[in-house]
Structure 1
Amino acid sequence: MTDAIEPVPVVRPPIAAMLLGYAGLLPPIIAVAVRLIDPAKGGMMLALALFYAALILSFLGGMWWGAVSARVSGAALSLWLAIAVVPSLVALAAGAVLFASVLSAAAIVAAGLLGSLLVDMALIRAGHVPTWWMKLRVPLSVGLAALTLLTGLLAQP
């Protein structure tokens, strides 16, 4: 008899999670399209897309908070909860530099989105999120980060 643990098969994300997750990319896609079609109206749309990306970054921390709160206790919980507030602080930092440099703010949010994948991988390893988690998180975070950088670039005078 062996003590080897058999790998858990990675299943597909639920259809609702996929539909809602990918629909979450629509706001920045629409903002970029409006900016390209009608530059006069596009500026406000780009600003909204950047704020939206910062909100999503903060939302990720809320997801982590909820995931670990249901499964962890003690000192480990304190550490995970501290990690879970970081995305909101990164979004706040982006807001603090927004009026000085839209591109810098977009880069901060994009870096936060990409960096969030490291925490997601740790959540997977610890067994705190479903096995399909990364199948959804990677394309959504990379997609939103790329759209956020594009938003920042298009917002340049």
Structure 2
Amino acid sequence: MEKSASLPPAARLLGYAGLLPPIGCVAGIAAFPDQRALLLEAGFGYAALIYSFLGGLWWGQGVARGRATAGLFAVAVVPSLLAWGLMLLQRHGLSIATTLLALGTAILVSPLVDLRLARTGSGTRGWMALRLQLSTGLGLLTLALALR
């Protein structure tokens, strides 16, 4: 990606729109406490999906650069494997709150990979700022669900 290019407005708008599902889950629990279990599951599923998507972005950046290390590709598969593992653990008795805490924390830490990629010359102007905002938003909303 070229550093001189900036993110198009649609990327920002649709990125922020991606926070609507977890906002809806948090608000939904307050409005409809009898639907808490469903909303926690929906929030977990959405956060896991987006976290997996981030791994795909990292993988794509590695492929696009043509000189990425095996380490980048290994890190890029971690989000999907972690989300899948947490889902399995949840299905086998680990509480939804614990899996949401683990997933929310992983999402909050995920920009460290983007920072590393940015240091190596990849990234569009505005990318890191948006990634930090979206990861902070999704991470905190996921943690809020864990505490509901």
The answer, yes or no, to whether TM exceeds 0.5 is yes
Per the normalisation by structure 1, the TM-score is: 0.84
Per the normalisation by structure 2, the TM-score is: 0.89
Match of 2:10 among 7, 16, 20: 16
Q: Which has the larger radius of gyration?
A: 1
Percent sequence identity over matched residues?
A: 43
Mapping 1:28-107, distance limit 5 Å: 28-73=22-67, 76-98=68-90, 99-107=93-101
Map Cα deviations across residues 40-99 of structure 1 (whole Å, 9 max, x no partner): 1232122101110011111000001111101133xx432211111111122123213324
Paired position in structure 1 for 2:107? 113
User: What secondary structure, in the 3-state scheme, does the structure 2 residue paired with 1:70 have?
Assistant: helix
Match of 2:139 among 123, 127, 145: 145
Alignment root-mean-square deviation, CA: 1.9
Amino acid at match of 2:144: L
User: What secondary structure, in the 3-state scheme, does the structure 1 residue paired with 2:122 have?
Assistant: coil
- Tell me if the contact between 1:12 and 1:135 (Cα under 8 Å) persists in the aligned partners: no
1: CA distance, partners of 2:122 / 2:100: 30
Higher RCO (C-alpha under 8 Å, 6+ residues apart): 2
User: What secondary structure, in the 3-state scheme, does the structure 1 residue paired with 2:66 have?
Assistant: coil
Amino acid at match of 2:45: F
Paired position in structure 1 for 2:130? 136
- Count matched residues: 145
- Tell me if the contact between 1:90 and 1:108 (Cα under 8 Å) persists in the aligned partners: no
2: CA distance, partners of 1:101 / 1:45: 14
2: CA distance, partners of 1:149 / 1:100: 16
2: CA distance, partners of 1:96 / 1:138: 28
> Which structure 1 segments of 5+ residues have no match?
1-7
